Amino acid sequence: MQRPAPYVPLSVTFATGKTGTAILERFGTEGLGVWAAIIAAAKAGNPEGQIVLLHDNDWGTLGLSANPPSFPLTELLTFLGRRKQTRTTRQGRVMYVKLTRWGDWNATKNSYLAAQRSSRNRQEKKRDAERTENEREANAMRNAEVEVELDIEKALQTSRETWHDTSPTGAGRAGQVCPDCELGGGYHLTDCPRANPQPTVETSPSTKP
């Protein structure tokens, strides 16, 4: 069996709400502290939301035996009962004190926690979607860069295939630059007039008969 979480459904208006204000007016801050101790003890109760007091001034069950308040515990319980906050039953000297709004407090707390979880889940899904979109864009950019590099390499390869070595030995000369197409190493572009020089025809001098 899972143990209950060691937290109590204490409202932010605990001291300023109707019940808190009424306790402060009647018992002072001491009474408000006892009311908080009752709620904490009810969290550890079995069943949860109920405490068992062994006698009328059982401050030990509330963890207040070392410094008990100046008023009787039964007086505060009677006050809380009239305000519909607790219901007390007796069996001999033993008192069973049930917090009547315990279920409502926990339902409010659970609804609040569920709303927080839903909000966190929505934020996580949004972050995941943004991360996925960023990764998709990054992959698209990388693919585009690869395609550009391939296109450049293809263009360079095509350009290389159009060059011709016109040196007598077939080996390019590093220092030779064509004055027409301005390629070095003895190479020429395809449309360069020096790429395919026309053969010269030797003619013999004419002889007169």
How many Cα atoms are found within 13 Å in the side-chain-facing hemisphere of 28?
4
The structural domain count of the chain equals 1
What is the pLDDT at residue 169?
46
Is 112 domain-assigned? no
Q: In the prediction, which pLDDT does 33 show?
A: 95
Residue 40 burial (10 A CB sphere; 0-12, 13-18, 19+): middle
Query: Using an 8 Å Cβ cutoff, are 37 and 77 in contact?
Result: no
Structure confidence at residue 135 (pLDDT): 83
**Residue-by-residue DSSP string for 83-135:** TTSEEEEEETTEEEEEETTHHHHHHHHHHHHHHHHHHHHHHHHHHHHHHHHHH
pLDDT at 170: 45
pLDDT score of 188: 66
Is 2 inside a domain boundary? no
pLDDT of residue 60: 95
197 in a structural domain: no
Specify the pTM. 0.51
pLDDT value of position 10: 77
The answer to whether residue 148 sits within a structural domain is no
- Say what the pLDDT of residue 3 is: 58
Please check whether residue 58 lies inside any domain of the structure: yes
Below-70 pLDDT ranges, the chain: 1-6, 9, 107-119, 156-176, 182-190, 195-209
What tokens does 114 get?
Answer: 């569920």
Q: Is residue 65 part of a domain?
A: yes
Q: Judge whether 62 lies within some domain.
A: yes
**Enclosing domain of residue 34:** 18-100
Burial (CB count <10 Å: 0-12, 13-18, 19+), residue 186 = buried
Task: Judge whether 166 lies within some domain.
Answer: no
CATH of the domain at 62: 1.10.10
